[in-house]
Chains A and B, each alone.
Chain A
Amino acid sequence: MKRTRLLALLAVLAMVVAACGGGTGDGTTTTVAGGDDDVTTTTSEDPTETTEAPTGGNAGEGGHLLLLQWQAPSQANTYLSTGTKDIQASSMVLEPLAEYNTDGEIVPALATEIPTVENGGISEDLTTITWTFQEGVLWSDGTPLTADDFVFTWEYCSDEATGCISPAFTEVTSVEAVDDTTVTITFDSPTPWPYVPFVGNTEPVIQRAQFQDCVGAAATGCTDQNFRPIGTGPFVVTELRPEDTVLYEMNPNYRKIEEGKPFFGTAEIKGGGDAEATARSVLEIGEADYAWNLQVAPEILEPMEAAGNGTVSVGFNTSVEHLNLNQTDPDADPPSEYQGDALAPTGGTNPYFYQNQVLHDALSMAINRQEMVDVAYGPAGEPTCNIWPVPGDALSTTNDWCLTQDIEAANALLDENGYEDTDGDGIRETPDGLPLEFEVVTSTNAVRQSEQDLIAVYWEQIGVATSMRNEDASLFFDGTAASDASIWKFFTDIELYTNSAVGSDAQGYFQSNLASEVPTSANAYGGGNVVRLADERFESTFQELSQASLEDPNRNELIKQLNDLLTEYAVIPLVNRGSVSAFSNSLDGYGSVNGWDSEYWNVEDWVRN
């Protein structure tokens, strides 16, 4: 009968296509063997099975490492990344000269030591830095790593058409190979902090032989190279499925194989799902070894951890969730722009916030930061009053009064300074009669919305009315001139989001708050001074800092001053946010989560206990 034949045909067709496609679509292998034949790519169903730690020379016998990143990597070339997820994926394979450890200190990776002015690595005039790296290092294809590869990496990134995301080379005039294992980088002006090119896993070295035909516009077409870069790191990519999975096996030419590193013979980054699901996989179910970037509410994360399969680890760096008080007037025409010289504006300043320490302090005092952390962040956050929160000699303590919520004092401060509620509607007005009604905008995100809800409640108690809005993250962080909702345009009163520095470079961080960096319609809103700070004291303090050498003890004082100036009336820091990840209890050797660099920075040291 025609009907039955048709039905049968449809069914068979479906099954045939499904079965044929059950393997890979592009012909590359999927099963991997890292030295042993019985290692498969399936999930490790019993992560607590014990294996003996290898003793020298037994690298790669530890089995399979399963890493979960709910944002799946799209490709593995660091320099073409679209987000941290890609940088993590490539950091398993590619290496830089030096990287950041969990305390934010720069430690050597491929380099033999960190160059300084004292050891002659940095020239006296601060325009060059010379790195020497280890001898005998091989790429994973067996060829030797030479200084020429570093020169090539610079050429690759300097070609505008490549679309390289690294900002490291914008001030570099040349990278030269002095000899086979020595590289000299020359900057276009004295640079006291030269630890940007090739420092950190966002700046690795790539192989000239592999990428030589991929410079410029050709970069996009080099799928094979972008998916399977040749590196000096502990692993090599065997297969990369974009937005899905990356499979690795041990690099047979890795320089630490004699030490038994890496422990694992194969590894896998599996993407997909959301943060809660990956946390659950590791902590509750025990299906995987590691879960990345757990933006999960604390009351959900804590019971998961209590299940006993894993540990949650937090790594802090410079990510501070903060409120920007717009120094310019978003209602002016054109909005959010100074008129006249930024340092001596003749118009367009914000009637509420421009250099207004009283209002700033009252708003800051009214916020209960500890409660915000408890509700929204749990172990992943710490209350902070500083935009530069790094523990150490550069940490300012003058603002710590903000750590205690004090509604009374806030009210008193406003009362004393003429902020009365003249019309009895519960909302104070400025001495000029403007009601304290503000719009606070942030990205769409459950944590941010709960922060907004809390802030609204706190400020209501001091007579300030708020209207809370949220924008989709892709619009809020849209750097093109297309989105009016972007943080750079700042067409509103107050913004809430997180900023962070590049590594531990405080100077570079504060440089983005100079008056010359104000985003305006003239520069297509391409500046970093989003809050539009225009303060002479800030400018002169920064000048001092940029001229002080790295060994100058006064640098720490200057950093503290810059921090205090920025948070005096323009910025209200709220929470120091850490990176939260979960590790299976069967894993050892990872130390703690590295908030400063790729979290796989020491993956060669990870072992199963």
Chain B
Amino acid sequence: MATTQDRVEQATGLLVPGGGEHHRSLRQDVWRQFKKHKGAVVGLVLLGLIVFATIFGPMLYGIDPYAVDTSMTNAAPSADHPLGTDNLGRDVLARTLVGGRISLAVGFAAMLFGLILGSGIGIISGYFRKLDGPLMRITDLFLALPILPLLLVIIMLWREPLKAAFGEELGIFLLVVFVIGVTSWMQTARVVRGDVLSLKEEEFVLAANSIGTRRRNVIMRHILPNTMSPIMVSAALGVAVAIITESALSFLGLGFPASFPTWGRLLFDGTNYLQISPLRAVVAGALISLTVMSVNYIGDGLRDAIDPRLRSN
């Protein structure tokens, strides 16, 4: 648990003398500790590279990932096609880069959705006694739902209406993000609620209340910043889970449609060609693994860094 000193420091924004000659803010402290965790740093760099490659790569690379060329099916890697072509002659590297955009977008969006939902419910539940009971029962209910089976069924059910309403790409994107988000907020809610319950009794919150701070401000300015640590760790894990879930759905044939090259879809399609053109599946699978690993390392580093006991003065 953080010491009262740390909490007051955050709440009032003042620096506490006696910690050394240098002025240090919490953010700098966390960053310093984070840098010590080698794995986390490597993860951050790797993730940055992957994100950069998927955002700018397709523009820099130039080849159309959707261009069908039946004269060049299943070609081996060459100067024109560094990773070869697939069974319809489409360039594998181009598809992998574009696929990354969709996979990462789904990962971050789903995580964000689940995070906002979970933190919101956790904070409200922890702070407002009267709502705690019902909200926790709802959380229990969601926790009790078997996720993957319902995910499969919901996707089969709602695919068509959403496709009709928003177009194929956006429709499925919304569906997958919603479905992943709505089935992964529970852990965050529970953890945040636990934190809020104990924070409510802290002296600085009592102090804030006694000077008449409005409830909304108490939550936003005092409670929320102090729950950031479990929230951020949840965020990191959430991205990992979202990317894997999207790949799993594609692997079961239920994710994005065939024309959309997400990494999961590429892995699914490429599995049968492993002996002919292994790069298709291997590169997609490796990228999923690397991204998830980097995110997990970052989460690990964050957890270590934010925990004040591990930060040395």
Contacts and interface: CB of A to CB of B under 8 A. Distances in A.
A and B, direct touch (CB closer than 8 Å): yes
Interface of A: 276, 296-297, 299-300, 303, 371, 374-375, 444, 446, 449-450, 453-454, 457, 468-472, 474-475, 484-485
A375 B70 contact: yes
Contacts of A474: 156
Interface string B61-90: 000000010100110000000000001100
Contacts of B156: 472, 474
Contact of B160 (A296, A371, A471): A471
Given A449-B259, A470-B258, A472-B159, A303 B275 contact: yes
A450 B276 contact: no
B132 interface: no
Nearest to B90: A453
A303 B277 CA distance: 12
Interface string B138-172: 00000000000000000010011000000010000
Contact of B68 (A299, A374, A453): A453
A485 B272 contact: no
Given A300-B273, A472-B156, A453 B88 contact: yes
B272 A450 contact: no
A444 B275 contact: no
B87 A450 contact: yes
A446 B257 contact: no
Q: Which residue, of A300, A454, A475, A484, has the highest number of chain B Cβ atoms within 10 A?
A: A300
Contact of A299 (B73, B258, B259): B73
26 contacts: A276-B272, A297-B87, A297-B272, A299-B273, A299-B276, A300-B273, A300-B276, A303-B276, A374-B70, A375-B70, A375-B73, A375-B87, A375-B88, A444-B257, A444-B258, A446-B258, A449-B258, A449-B259, A454-B68, A457-B68, A468-B259, A471-B160, A472-B159, A475-B160, A484-B160, A485-B160
Contacts of B273: 299-300
Given A446-B258, A449-B259, A485-B160, A300 B272 contact: yes
Contacts of B269: 446
Nearest to B277: A299
A460 to B, nearest CB: 11
B151 to A, nearest CB: 15
Contacts of A297: 87, 272
B238 to A, nearest CB: 29
Interface string B259-280: 1000000000100110110000
Contacts of B68: 453-454, 457
B154 to A, nearest CB: 13
Contacts of B168: 469
Contact of B87 (A276, A299, A303, A454): A299
A189 B98 CA distance: 62
A598 B73 CA distance: 35
A285 to B, nearest CB: 12
Given A300-B272, A300-B276, A303-B275, A454 B70 contact: yes
B70 A470 contact: no
Shortest 3 CB-CB contacts between residues of A and residues of B: A449-B258, A276-B272, A453-B68
Interface string B85-103: 0011000000000000000
A468 B257 CA distance: 12
Nearest to B257: A470
Contacts of B70: 371, 374-375, 454
Interface of B is mostly: loop
A450 B275 contact: no
B149 to A, nearest CB: 16
A474 B88 CA distance: 26
B23 to A, nearest CB: 48
A471 B272 CA distance: 22
A451 to B, nearest CB: 11
A290 B102 CA distance: 40
B229 to A, nearest CB: 29
Given A444-B253, A469-B168, 5 more contacts: A297-B272, A449-B259, A454-B68, A470-B257, A471-B160
A468 B156 CA distance: 19
A466 B285 CA distance: 33
Interface in B3-55: none
Contacts of B88: 375, 450, 453
Nearest to B259: A449
Contacts of A484: 160
Interface string B271-311: 01101100000000000000000000000000000000000
Contacts of A475: 160
Contacts of A276: 272
A472 B161 CA distance: 13
Nearest to B163: A469
Contacts of B276: 299-300, 303
A276 B68 CA distance: 23
A306 to B, nearest CB: 11
Q: Which residue, of A276, A374, A469, A472, has the highest number of chain B Cβ atoms within 10 A?
A: A472
Nearest to A467: B168
Nearest to B89: A375
Q: Which residue, of A299, A374, A470, has the highest number of chain B Cβ atoms within 10 A?
A: A299
Interface in B242-263: 253, 257-259
Contacts of B74: 299
Contacts of B272: 276, 296-297, 300
Contacts of A470: 257-258
Nearest to A456: B68
A299 B257 CA distance: 22
A474 B168 CA distance: 18
B122 to A, nearest CB: 30
A450 B168 CA distance: 18
B2 to A, nearest CB: 30
A237 to B, nearest CB: 30
Nearest to A276: B272
B260 to A, nearest CB: 11
Nearest to B155: A472
A276 to B, nearest CB: 5
A337 to B, nearest CB: 21
A382 B70 CA distance: 18
A281 B291 CA distance: 34
A449 B259 CA distance: 8
A427 to B, nearest CB: 19
A374 B70 CA distance: 10
Q: Which residue, of B87, B259, B275, B276, has the highest number of chain A Cβ atoms within 10 A?
A: B87
A275 to B, nearest CB: 9
Contacts of A450: 87-88
A439 to B, nearest CB: 12
A529 B88 CA distance: 34
A296 B88 CA distance: 14
A179 B296 CA distance: 79
A444 B155 CA distance: 14
A396 B103 CA distance: 51
Nearest to A446: B258
A471 B159 CA distance: 9
A393 B113 CA distance: 65
Nearest to B161: A484
Nearest to A448: B258
A446 B275 CA distance: 18
B152 to A, nearest CB: 12
Contacts of A300: 272-273, 276
A290 B74 CA distance: 28
A114 B115 CA distance: 72
Contacts of B87: 297, 299, 375, 450
A449 B168 CA distance: 15
A482 B249 CA distance: 25
A148 B285 CA distance: 61
Nearest to A469: B168
Contacts of A446: 258, 269
A157 to B, nearest CB: 32
A273 to B, nearest CB: 12
Nearest to A375: B70
A210 to B, nearest CB: 37
